Amino acid sequence: MMGSYSYGSSNFFLQLQWFVVWGLTAALLVAAVRWVWKKGNK
């Protein structure tokens, strides 16, 4: 979606949305890895 820089503050919200999405994805991955790690250690 490059080239849509005609918006002003919505670009900031777009970046914020992507930041939240990536943060949630990373948190889910870390939680899943820790859960598997705990199950594997038992």
- What is this structure's pTM? 0.56
**Tokens standing for 11?**
């670009």
Residue 4 scores a pLDDT above 90: no
5 φ, ψ (degrees, to nearest 5) = -100, 10
Give the mean model confidence (pLDDT) for residues 14-23: 94
Structure-token match 């949305």, residue found: 17
Give domain limits for the chain: 18-42
Per-residue pLDDT tens for 26-40? 999 999 999 999 998
Residue at 35: amino acid letter = W
Q: Return the SS3 of 32.
A: helix
